[in-house]
Structure 1
Amino acid sequence: MSASTPQPDSSVRPADRRVSARIGAIAESATLAVDAKAKALKAAGRPVIGFGAGEPDFPTPDYIVETAVEACRDPKNHRYTPAGGLPELKEAIAAKTLRDSGYRVDASQVLVTNGGKQAIYEAFAAILDPGDEVIVPAPYWTTYPESIQLAGGVPVEVVTDETTGYKVSVEQLEAARTENTKVVLFVSPSNPTGAVYTRAEAEAIGRWALEHGLWVLTDEIYEHLVYGDAEFTSLPALLPELADKTIVVNGVAKTYAMTGWRVGWLIGPKDVVKAATNLQSHATSNVSNVAQRAAIAAVSGDLSAVHEMRTAFDRRRRTIVRMLNEIDGVVCPEPEGAFYVYPSVKGLLGKEIRGKRPQTSAELATLILDEAEVAVVPGEAFGTPGYLRFSYALGDADLAEGVGRIQKLLAEARD
């Protein structure tokens, strides 16, 4: 279990505290930090290849960009609009949700946010009171526990590994449940592992949550990025009786290659959405109108662009899994969704590589960056040391070159 937000030192005068205990406890986003370091090194002339950032390497489709250009010229988009989102976008999101996941919702159940991160924070802030526990399967995306703690909650980690495909069982969830448990986090497809729960597995978790009256926050941002025989399952569509205590988080970032446009949303019961909207009205007010107009075009259009991206991601997925598994000491399960692999590197820890003996995956990631000029994110960032996360949302040539450099470096590992 993670510790709750630290309390300020009562021996220090409030006026002398420069940063609050609440904000001082927030960890920097490891994925963004790795990406920023890789970009800085490239800007300095080093041939760094980055596997850190979770964003498609494709441009936003032209028809979406053109919609934004037109929106810039329309004076109505130069003004404030409703804090909860443009009515037209909320209607379009409701229609898209029914089309893509079979979940019927009303526009009044939608809050448009500045990206998925704001949706996640506001969802937790709307339903958590101090001390409420949230069960968080690990490996987890770095933002989840930070958002929970900022909202006053306590993240309770349930660790999974490659032997179960990084999927949590009902038995593990039940073992973690206490009288203070309020929410279970459900993410499929997963960041950082690419794990996808089967329909039966998702239903079992949903029924367990129902049985115990728990809330579910489900992050569906990678809904369209599944491969092979894997299928995306939306919990409230699968179990309509769960909908009254389910919050769905989604956005345009991954499906439409729109990470920089910053448009996400949450869908939930009307009273929770109203509360989260009130919070947003004081935090940021409305999302950029131009980005919202672009998002209308995205969610209302067809999915041909994402189909093309998925084909490329699938090809890269198979390539990176094969190349990583050729390295002695690396075990890389084949992911079924998203655009990440999460190999175990435990077999390399403690071995000598160019005069160093990395004892942790964080030290190994540093060594790889220094010696091979390849940026990856260590498992410590996701709650499970001993692993590395690679995003394969980068060009085929860079992918092959980057993993090839790592193969060459790690081939030197000696006992």
Structure 2
Amino acid sequence: MDLPLKGIKVIDFTQYQQGTVGTLLLADWGADVIKLEPRLVGEPGRAAGLAYYQAHNRNKRSVTIDLKKEKGKEIVYRLVKDADIFAQNFRPGVAERLGFGYEALSAINPKIIYLTGSGFGLKGPWKDRPGFDAVGQAMGGIMSLAGPPGSPDLPIGAAVADQTGGFMLGYGALLALIDRQRTGKGQMVEASLMGSVIGLIGWVMQDYLLSGQSRGKTRARVGSGVFSCTLRAGDGKSFIIQTFGKAAKEKVFKAAGLEPKDPRFETGEKMRQNIDELIDALEGFFSTKTRDESLEILGKEDVVCAPVYNLAEVAAEPQVAANEYLVEIEHPKEGKIRILNNPVTLGMQKARVGAAPELGQHTDEVLKEAGYSEEEIAVLRKEEVI
């Protein structure tokens, strides 16, 4: 059975992570993603190593072009003529200066869907500034929420602004494809690092807008019936609990030998005021148990809980294997390696699983599909256009 995006052609002029993740999501589900890369060196993400490049560029085809040369630009314009999507995440204005802005490409193909990833959006005083993941985390507010009270404002260990920005670009591409089916028209789709992080923190931002109070950093999440905190067991390993509602909270207290009606923790407001006492009391009990023993005790009370895993534990977890979140492939140079899989499953189809392309691996193949003869390709190579 064909994948949902088979027949969708994407010209991918993205780099690093935000843009490449957006087109990666399309490639996983069958789109023909043609990645444009500079001759000899490739896009900057290659310099970050195999893991970085593989994670963001699997299932794509690589074409190397010198886009500063007119013949290089002509190749792109020819590819755009029958493409469905063009994607870039350069600093605002760069694609336009190179001749690949939305106005230029939509004049060639009015049905083109043009994805653009930015740091801060295309309007406002910050619109022309460059952006990377950390600044998206900083200005989107998530750094002010991470860590215990008094801790430095540090980026989260994974590039969540880049990754979420990529998810939003892929989401926007699908919306524009559906809209084009109805209208016959292409359009620009934009997602920024800052805007994506604001969307990611979701209800926490909405809570501030309604209450005027920022939750800030805390040892636990307490509010609107929710209680969640991380605890350390006697073997030094951490686990997390999360409850919703008074009855669920009292199950935790019961499991830990605490008085369910303890007046210090009777309401959400009192729990916030005495959160250090509460966590110390819980850890006082669970410090006499291993993490596995703690989770078993809580599980018997039907408490929502889970171990806090490091990456090695994630990779070894049977639940990860059962759902194929990580899979093994045969890499053309590295042999058997485990890679990330697309985390979405459909009832009748599975996403593609494959390696990222070698630099320029598909240049001749793609150019022939675009109508170039072998002789023309040889001339382009001699002139160092490809």
- Answer yes or no: same fold by TM over 0.5: no
TM bin (shorter chain): under 0.3
Radius of gyration: which is bigger?
A: 2
Question: Which structure is higher in strand share?
Answer: 2
The TM-score with structure 1 as length reference comes to 0.22
The TM-score with structure 2 as length reference comes to 0.23
